[in-house]
Amino acid sequence: MNTKYSEEQGDGSFMKHLILASGSPRRRELMSQVGLDFTVVTSDADENIKEMEPEDYVRELSSVKAQSVLEQYADNEDSVIVIGADTIVYHKGEILTKPEDEEDAFRILKSLEGEIHQVYTGVTICSAHKNVSFYEKTDVWVYDMTDEEIREYINTGEPMDKAGAYGIQGKFAAYIKGIEGDYNNVVGLPVARLVHELKVF
């Protein structure tokens, strides 16, 4: 089923259009999977924000992205609902985003192997008259990995566009010992929570 959002106007009703403010193919797949009908408009917002607690960091960045795209519809903002999202990996007090290069990816994965870490995704849903931000946290355990295994994984190219330098839904699944929390949150979007929150729009 395709889910749309409608709102009554004085002269009848119109459909509110969902916009995903993210170029992530994984977020697109998750939203399509649950039947959401949407358009992708990537945000050009400055993602350099000050260091803060991980839950505040992802909510703030998701809000910046969503608001940036909403502003593009200033003349027609009553007709759109914008969804922004940001995902990070958090380990031993360090916020881990996408690796800068292969050596950075190695450093990140070396710190995660054999350890537990947290994945935070912040989501902001905004329209002309309502704004909701939330986050989800998932604990992830990673098996021990040799340096050779880490290098082989990096050579696949998979880590380079992902927070924490791995994709749980890809080849790195071989090294996931377990999780506690929402699996889709680790992929990049807690889509069930998103659908629930959209009900108030």
- Share of the chain residues as helix, strand and coil, in percent rounded to the nearest 5: 40, 30, 30
Query: Do the beta carbons of residue 162 and residue 168 sit within 8 Å?
Result: no
Give tens-digit pLDDT for 17-62.
999 999 999 999 999 999 999 999 998 877 777 778 999 999 999 9
More confident residue, 200 or 139: 139
Q: Across the chain, which distance is largest between two alpha carbons, in Å?
A: 65
Q: Which domain holds residue 153?
A: 5-198
Enumerate residues 6+ apart whose C-beta is below 8 A from 124.
59, 62, 63, 65, 66, 67, 83, 84, 85, 131, 132, 133
> Measured between alpha carbons, how far is 122 from 196 in angstroms, rounded to an integer?
15
CATH number at 177 reads 3.90.950.10
DSSP code of residue 166: -
Render pLDDT for 97-156 as a digit per residue (tens, 0 to 9): 999 999 999 999 999 999 999 999 999 999 998 999 999 999 999 999 999 999 999 999
Say if CB 27 and CB 39 are below 8 A apart.
no
- Per-residue pLDDT of 51-108, as tens digits, reads 789 999 999 999 999 999 999 988 887 889 999 999 999 999 999 999 999 999 999 9
Which amino acid is located at 61 in the chain?
L
Q: Which of 44, 75, 86, 101 is catalytic?
A: 86
Number of domains forming the structure of the chain: 1
Known catalytic membership, residue 56 = no
Given CA atoms 28, 126, 138, 99 in this order, what sign does their dihedral have?
positive
Angstrom distance (rounded) from CA 40 to CA 109: 30
Cα–Cα distances in Å, from 82 out to 29, 48, 138? 17, 21, 24
